[in-house]
């Protein structure tokens, strides 16, 4: 509250007559709402403008009022400094705990291959040791007063003659190093640099064209329109409510199965016209029992829902879907909708998606957009949200509008069963079965529609470990698929330009070239040019173009603009994982076939739960209530097994940590040659790798 003298003066002003005649200042209302305090002036309404009191009040604020304002501002600044200091101490404490525990990514999960990861780490560590050695040499040469860069030499002069005051064995060795650097290292490094810059510019032009296409769609209001408006009358013809099969593939999804099954069973569609298949691949008996009992509850509510469990998980998700499509009753259905275990569609999802098939016999897929329940949970989810907003708002929408083709996202999509069968059905040959079926359907001439205004809620990975494994699968699978379907693309009957789009844009540019140049240019070439300064990387490549590309990427998520710098650094840091995955998929290495289910936290927005309670009657709410008996059974498990299942921890990622020290070493070297832009980029990028290497960006397990 305000100081006591302020209250006395306010009361004196009110008693002395004239409202403010004796108050000596402008009344101020102080709103003390933590953490921010605000001030608003109260204008006098009962003072004669010509009176002396009004003139005195208008000349300025009372000195005590100004002092109070300054104190409030100082308090706010001190609070922010305290918060920043507390955050820094918390980060330091987490890093210290991480180092003390010593758990690294070399501790592989069962069935996980670490051969390629170990080789990559050893190679990066060798470069790190070499860079430290070269930095020590350059620092010694700098303090000796020798030139750190070769001068322009006339023809016939050697490197030794270009140095100043060379004497001694060390000076001669340094002169030899400069000659090797100039004649043998700089030319191939400069060629590699120029090649990556060209690839970088091609990819930047591609992103610019996508953004311009999205702008054109917005300006013209282009979007898919069904031929006939949807009808709410359930007595309408069969064409308005076709038979729909809803599939929910899941594996050990204990955290999310209940809310997702509830959302799908409450879809606004005639119950006689849709069937829900819960396809459980869980290898945990307790989780399977919980899911099965939840299905039985909804069966008692009158929902057509069946539970299928595979003991042997052949083919992972693709094998699960393929097995479900072999059921005899599938022939009674015309469309199939796929929702992953953490997806919660709105009740009107089918009524907004299905009309787009009516009268369009060549449409094989209708894809909806994802929205995220936990997009502001931590820094990692915020940065993922930027990426995925660009993917759906720009990439999917532009490709769907102008090409009628895009990569199926694996969930929140409706397939015409005839299109699936015509394309050969689900195949287990890659870890991206969704992209596989989309490419094969495109080669058969089927068209895809993308609905940007139909959203389906889901979760983002909250831990760096889960996100890292997800990205590895997403970037190794496309290279596997490219090897397998390249000949089919060439032999297909689609148009020449569609073949070019598939090969050069869809696969090579966005799936191979993008991770290649991101890692090579910013994590390999840039540090090397600091130690071989004869090969130059222009500042506009390091700073201006990446910032411009980041601004374009962040436009679909305007609330994320404060995170533009972390986003730029984050993308370069993730290029290591993506490059490693791309290489493993391209050359069919062991880690390319790893399939790790992305861990879910089971978060659900409070608004959705309230809406669900208000919309449905008590019996339906009971149907989705927690299964206390099953949870009690779960609690009776042996403590050892329970502890094993619930164990979570953060790791140290050696590859990111080694690259952090490599970039920081290169930043120190750039100081000697006074390269300002390169220094700041290397410094902050090195810090970014350090944060990721210590697993400080996502969920923190205490």
Indicate if the pLDDT at residue 50 is higher than 90: no
pLDDT for residue 80: 84
The arithmetic mean of pLDDT across residues 667-683, rounded, is: 87
Please state, in angstroms and rounded to a whole number, the distance separating the CA atoms of residues 401 and 598: 31
Please state, in angstroms and rounded to a whole number, the distance separating the CA atoms of residues 452 and 455: 7
Lowest mean pLDDT among 114-123, 167-176, 406-415, 591-600: 114-123
Indicate if the pLDDT at residue 528 is higher than 80: yes
Site of tokens 């840091």: 573
Indicate if the pLDDT at residue 295 is higher than 50: yes
pLDDT for residue 27: 54
Q: What is the DSSP letter of 598?
A: P
Taking the mean position of all CA atoms in its chain, how far away is CA 426? 27
Q: What is the pLDDT of residues 398-429, one digit of tens each?
A: 999 999 999 999 999 999 999 999 999 999 99
- In terms of pLDDT, which residue wins out, 470 or 622? 470
Among residues 28, 18, 21, 10, the alpha carbon closest in space to that of 55 is found at 21
Confidence label for 146 from pLDDT (cuts 50, 70 and 90): low
- Candidate list 105, 280, 434, 695, residue with the active-site label: 434
The beta strand positions in 585-679, using DSSP E, are none
The arithmetic mean of pLDDT across residues 29-52, rounded, is: 51
- What radius of gyration, in Å, describes the C-alpha atoms of the chain? 32
Lowest mean pLDDT among 137-141, 402-406, 629-633: 629-633
- In terms of pLDDT, which residue wins out, 319 or 110? 319
Site of tokens 């006339």: 154
- Percent of the chain residues past pLDDT 70, beyond the cut: 77
Q: What is the pLDDT of residues 483-527, one digit of tens each?
A: 999 999 999 999 999 999 999 999 999 999 999 999 999 999 999
DSSP code string of 285-312? HHHHHHHHHHHHHHHHTT--EEEEE-SS
pLDDT for residue 194: 96
Indicate if the pLDDT at residue 4 is higher than 70: no
Q: What angle do CA 201, 205, 208 make, to 5 degrees?
A: 135
Indicate if the pLDDT at residue 634 is higher than 80: no
Please state, in angstroms and rounded to a whole number, the distance separating the CA atoms of residues 431 and 286: 27
Please state, in angstroms and rounded to a whole number, the distance separating the CA atoms of residues 411 and 598: 14
Lowest mean pLDDT among 5-9, 336-340, 407-411, 581-585: 5-9
Indicate if the pLDDT at residue 162 is higher than 60: no
Q: What is the pLDDT of residues 67-100, one digit of tens each?
A: 888 888 888 888 888 888 887 777 777 777 777 7
The arithmetic mean of pLDDT across residues 637-662, rounded, is: 69
pLDDT for residue 117: 62
Indicate if the pLDDT at residue 51 is higher than 90: no
Tokens of residue 18, six digits: 């004239």
Ramachandran assignment for 250, one of left (phi > 0), alpha (psi -120 to 50 degrees), beta (any other): beta
Task: Report the C-alpha dihedral over residues 10, 16, 20, 26, rounded to 10 degrees.
Answer: -30
DSSP code string of 486-508? HHHHHHS-S-HHHHHIIIIIIII
Mean pLDDT score across all residues of the chain: 81
pLDDT for residue 300: 95
Indicate if the pLDDT at residue 318 is higher than 50: yes
Run of H or E including 140: helix 115-143
Q: What is the pLDDT of residues 194-209, one digit of tens each?
A: 999 999 999 999 999 9
Among residues 470, 417, 474, the alpha carbon closest in space to that of 441 is found at 417
- In terms of pLDDT, which residue wins out, 425 or 35? 425
Q: What is the pLDDT of residues 535-555, one digit of tens each?
A: 999 999 999 999 999 999 999
Please say if 233 is a catalytic residue. Answer: no
pLDDT for residue 83: 80
Indicate if the pLDDT at residue 164 is higher than 60: no
Please state, in angstroms and rounded to a whole number, the distance separating the CA atoms of residues 566 and 91: 16
Q: What is the pLDDT of residues 352-367, one digit of tens each?
A: 999 999 999 999 999 9
Highest mean pLDDT among 141-150, 176-185, 435-444, 662-671 belongs to: 435-444
Confidence label for 638 from pLDDT (cuts 50, 70 and 90): very low
Please say if 361 is a catalytic residue. Answer: no
- In terms of pLDDT, which residue wins out, 627 or 363? 363
Among residues 549, 530, 560, the alpha carbon closest in space to that of 682 is found at 530
Q: What is the pLDDT of residues 222-278, one digit of tens each?
A: 999 997 654 454 445 556 799 999 999 999 888 899 999 999 999 999 999 999 999
For residue 650, whether the previous peptide bond is cis, meaning omega lies within 30 degrees of 0, is: no
pLDDT for residue 458: 95
Confidence label for 625 from pLDDT (cuts 50, 70 and 90): very low
Helix (H, G, I), strand (E, B) or coil at 652: strand
Site of tokens 């779960």: 634
pLDDT for residue 599: 75
- In terms of pLDDT, which residue wins out, 124 or 559? 559
- Candidate list 105, 281, 340, 436, residue with the active-site label: 281
- In terms of pLDDT, which residue wins out, 234 or 212? 212
């Amino acid at each position: 509250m305000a100081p006591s003298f302020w209250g006395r003066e306010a009361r004196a002003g009110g008693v002395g007559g004239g409202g403010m005649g004796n108050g000596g200042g402008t009344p101020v209302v102080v709103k003390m709402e933590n953490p921010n305090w605000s001030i608003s002036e109260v204008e006098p309404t009962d003072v004669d403008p010509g009176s002396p009191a009004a003139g005195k009040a208008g000349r300025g604020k009372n000195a005590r009022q100004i002092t109070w304002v300054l104190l409030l501002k100082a308090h706010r600044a001190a609070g922010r400094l305290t918060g920043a200091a507390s955050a820094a101490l918390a980060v330091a404490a987490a890093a210290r705990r991480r180092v003390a525990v010593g758990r690294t990514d070399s501790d592989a999960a069962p069935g996980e291959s670490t051969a390629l990861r170990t080789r990559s780490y050893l190679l990066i560590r060798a470069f790190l040791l070499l860079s430290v050695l070269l930095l020590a040499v350059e620092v010694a040469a700098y303090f000796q007063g020798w030139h750190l860069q070769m001068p322009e030499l006339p023809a016939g002069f050697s490197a030794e003659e270009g140095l100043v005051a060379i004497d001694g064995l060390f000076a001669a060795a340094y002169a030899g190093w400069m000659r090797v650097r100039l004649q043998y290292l700089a030319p191939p490094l400069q060629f590699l640099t120029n090649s990556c810059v060209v690839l970088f510019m091609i990819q930047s032009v591609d992103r610019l064209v996508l953004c311009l296409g999205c702008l054109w769609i917005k300006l013209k209001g282009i979007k898919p329109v069904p031929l006939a408006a949807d009808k709410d009358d359930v007595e309408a013809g069969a064409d308005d409510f076709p038979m729909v099969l809803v599939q929910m593939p899941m594996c050990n999804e204990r955290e999310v199965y209940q809310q997702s099954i509830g959302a799908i069973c409450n879809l606004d569609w005639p119950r006689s016209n849709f069937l829900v298949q819960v396809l459980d691949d869980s290898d945990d008996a307790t989780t399977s029992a919980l899911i099965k009992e939840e299905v039985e509850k909804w069966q008692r509510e009158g929902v057509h829902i069946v539970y299928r469990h595979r003991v042997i998980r052949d083919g992972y998700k693709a094998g699960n879907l393929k097995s479900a499509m072999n059921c005899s009753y599938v022939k009674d259905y015309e469309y199939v909708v796929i929702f992953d275990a953490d997806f919660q569609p709105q009740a009107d999802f089918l009524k907004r998606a299905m009309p787009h098939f009516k009268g369009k016999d060549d449409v094989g897929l209708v894809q909806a957009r994802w929205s995220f329940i936990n997009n502001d949970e931590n820094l990692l989810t915020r940065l993922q949200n930027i990426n995925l907003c660009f993917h759906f708002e720009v990439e999917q929408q532009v490709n769907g509008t102008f090409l009628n083709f895009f990569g199926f996202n694996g969930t929140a999509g409706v397939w015409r069963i005839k299109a699936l069968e015509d394309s050969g059905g689900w195949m287990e040959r890659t870890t991206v079965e969704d992209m596989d079926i989309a490419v094969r359907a495109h080669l058969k001439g089927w068209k895809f529609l993308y609905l940007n205004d139909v959203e389906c809620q889901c979760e983002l990975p909250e831990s760096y470990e889960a996100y890292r494994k997800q990205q590895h699968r997403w970037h190794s699978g496309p290279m596997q698929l490219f090897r397998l379907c390249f000949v089919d693309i060439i032999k297909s009957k689609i148009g020449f330009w569609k073949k070019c789009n598939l090969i050069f844009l869809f696969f090579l540019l966005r799936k191979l070239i993008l991770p290649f140049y991101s890692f090579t240019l910013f994590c390999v070439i840039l540090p090397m040019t600091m130690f071989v300064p004869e090969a130059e990387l222009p500042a506009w490549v390091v700073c201006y173009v990446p910032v411009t590309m980041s601004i374009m990427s962040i436009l679909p998520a305007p609330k994320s603009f404060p995170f533009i710098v972390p986003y730029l650094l984050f993308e370069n840091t993730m290029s290591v994982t993506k490059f490693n995955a791309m290489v493993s998929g391209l050359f069919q290495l062991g880690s390319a076939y790893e399939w790790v289910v992305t861990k879910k936290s089971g978060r659900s927005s409070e608004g959705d739960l309230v809406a669900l309670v208000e919309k449905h009657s008590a019996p339906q709410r009971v149907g989705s209530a927690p299964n206390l008996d099953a949870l009690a059974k779960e609690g009776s498990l042996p403590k050892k097994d329970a502890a094993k299942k619930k164990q979570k921890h953060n790791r140290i990622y050696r590859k990111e940590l080694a690259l952090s020290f490599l970039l920081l070493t290169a930043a120190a070297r750039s100081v000697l040659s006074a390269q300002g832009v390169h220094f700041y980029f290397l410094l902050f990028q090195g810090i970014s790798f350090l944060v990721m290497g210590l697993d400080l960006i996502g969920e923190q397990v205490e």
